[in-house]
Amino acid sequence: MSKILSQKVKIALIQLSGSSADKQANLQRAAQFVDRAMREQPETKIVVLPECFNSPYSVDKFREYAEVVSAHKMSTSVAFLSQLAARHKITLFGGSIPEIDPATDNVYNTALIFDESGALVDTHRKVHLFDVDIPNGITFKESTTLSPGAKETCVPTPFGNVGVGICYDMRFPELAMIAARKHSAFAMVYPSAFNTVTGPVHWHLLARARSVDNQFYTVLCSPARNMDSGYHAYGHSLVCDPRGNIIAEAGEGEEIVHATLDPQAIDDFRMSVPLYKQRRFDVYPDVSK
């Protein structure tokens, strides 16, 4: 069986506190944690930041903090993350930031992915917007100011392909299925900010479901919980293996989560439970086609 993950790879998840109103302070805080992660485990090759780490996670702030995302004329956050990736020679999943498209004036919640040279290799605009009204829970409507993305995203790394979603995208299994089947991804990475209502109910369940359904790793990176901010993130950044086991997990506060992704774990589970040979696309459609 050919390996979709070429070798063992170390990953670090940076669980930062909920972003302040000071963008530069947010960026510097992220750099401090990435620097620390690399000092702790210098062999780390993949680093992940949380959703909307550089700005407040608030529908009335997205447009104010939005930047034009370009690989050629880099904005403040894009240039900062590019330099951070190049300095440490890592593949950096730079969380997500509010993006504005100058051609349409639309604002997106956009994940940025950089290679080891600091090049911006791809972006993912959040496809499924978080519009919910939970009785006695939370009301939040991203579509008030955000537009939805229109593509699935899978990026190459030196170790294999990785699918990307953002937070609410996790609740829809199709993006992960496409990454696994169409692009042979070894992992799905979700910068996310589940809240203290939805997190305890479905955070772990969804990570385990995406892993077991696709027999690959699922990586969730959340902001730390900050009860003084307007949005209370759940925390609990985690890595789930192909069998649905949580192999590394943060608590609620600021923390760095280290884990090792092992190709043997993928191969062994796919050999013992051969879903890829047993799917019945004569009965139901293949969403990856």
What pLDDT score does 139 carry?
Answer: 75
Nearest Cα neighbor of 5 from 161, 117, 146, 124 is 161
Residue 225 C-alpha from the chain's centroid: 17
What is the pLDDT at residue 137?
A: 67
282-288 average pLDDT score = 96
pLDDT at site 133 = 79
User: 101 with 108: CB under 8 angstroms?
Assistant: yes
CB atoms within 10 A of CB 104: 9
Inter-CA distances, 212 with 70, 167, 245, Å: 35, 18, 9
In this model, does residue 15 exceed pLDDT 70?
A: yes
How confident is the model over 80-126, as pLDDT tens digits? 999 999 999 999 999 999 999 999 999 999 999 999 999 999 999 99
pLDDT digits (tens, 9 = 90+) for 229-263: 778 899 999 999 999 999 999 999 999 999 999 99
pLDDT at 243: 98
Q: Work out the mean pLDDT of the chain and round it to a whole number.
A: 95
pLDDT of residue 20: 85
- Calculate what percentage of the chain has a pLDDT beyond 90: 88
The conformation of residue 223, written as its DSSP 8-state character, comes to P
The pLDDT, as a whole number, for residue 1 is 40
What SS3 state is found at 192?
coil
Question: DSSP character for 144?
Answer: G
Catalytic annotation on 182?
no
3-state DSSP assignment of residue 171:
helix
* Amino acid 18: pLDDT: 65
* Whether the predicted pLDDT of 289 surpasses 70: yes
Phi (first) and psi of residue 121, to 5 degrees: -90, -25
* Segments in the chain forming alpha helices (H): 23-40, 62-65, 76-88, 174-183, 199-214, 263-272, 275-278
Task: Give helix 174-183 / helix 199-214 axis angle, nearest 10°.
Answer: 20
Is 240 noted as a catalytic residue in this protein? no
Q: Which one of 45, 67, 99, 126 is the catalytic residue?
A: 126
Three-state SS string over 260-288 comes to EECHHHHHHHHHHCCHHHHCCCCCCCCCC
Q: What is the pLDDT at residue 227? A: 79
- Choose, from 52, 167, 221, 240, the residue flagged as catalytic: 167
pLDDT digits (tens, 9 = 90+) for 32-62: 999 999 999 999 999 999 999 999 988 899 9
Whole-prediction pTM: 0.95
pLDDT digits (tens, 9 = 90+) for 155-185: 999 999 999 999 999 999 999 999 999 999 9
Q: Give yes or no for residue 2 having a pLDDT over 80.
A: no
Q: What is the pLDDT of residues 122-155, one digit of tens each?
A: 999 999 998 877 777 677 788 999 999 999 999 9
Residue of 51, 99, 142, 152 marked active site: 51
Q: Would residue 51 show up in a list of annotated catalytic residues for this protein?
A: yes
Contact 90, 43 (CB under 8 A): no
Q: Which domains does the chain have, with CATH numbers?
A: 9-276 (3.60.110.10)
Which are the contacts of 215, defined by CB distance < 8 A and separation ≥ 6? 180, 242, 266, 269, 270, 273, 275, 276
